[in-house]
Amino acid sequence: MAKVTFNTDLCKGCGLCVSACPKKLLVIAEDQINNKGYSPAVMTDMEKCIGCAFCATMCPDCIITVEK
């Protein structure tokens, strides 16, 4: 199982990682606001993540870390 971590304080909520996820496991959190005033991306079900790292590759701010 892969482990995906987000540095949510630096996330701008651009949604590029959300659109890149082949399993559609990432969403922009509507109930969270980070220190910069943005809604960050979050993982909905870590158990279903395949560890492809497409999300980390697409992130312009490099806030996503994928460990296999």
Q: What number does CATH give the domain 3-67?
A: 3.30.70.20
pLDDT at 29 over 90: yes
pLDDT reading at 68 higher than 90:
no
Domain definitions of the chain by residue range? 3-67
pLDDT digits (tens, 9 = 90+) for 51-67: 999 999 999 999 999 99
How would residue 8 be classed by pLDDT, with cut points 50, 70 and 90? very high
Q: Which pairs count as long-range contacts for 44-50, CB under 8 Å and 24+ apart, including other chains?
A: 46/1, 46/2, 46/3, 46/4, 47/1, 48/23, 49/1, 49/2, 49/4, 49/23, 49/25, 50/2, 50/22, 50/23
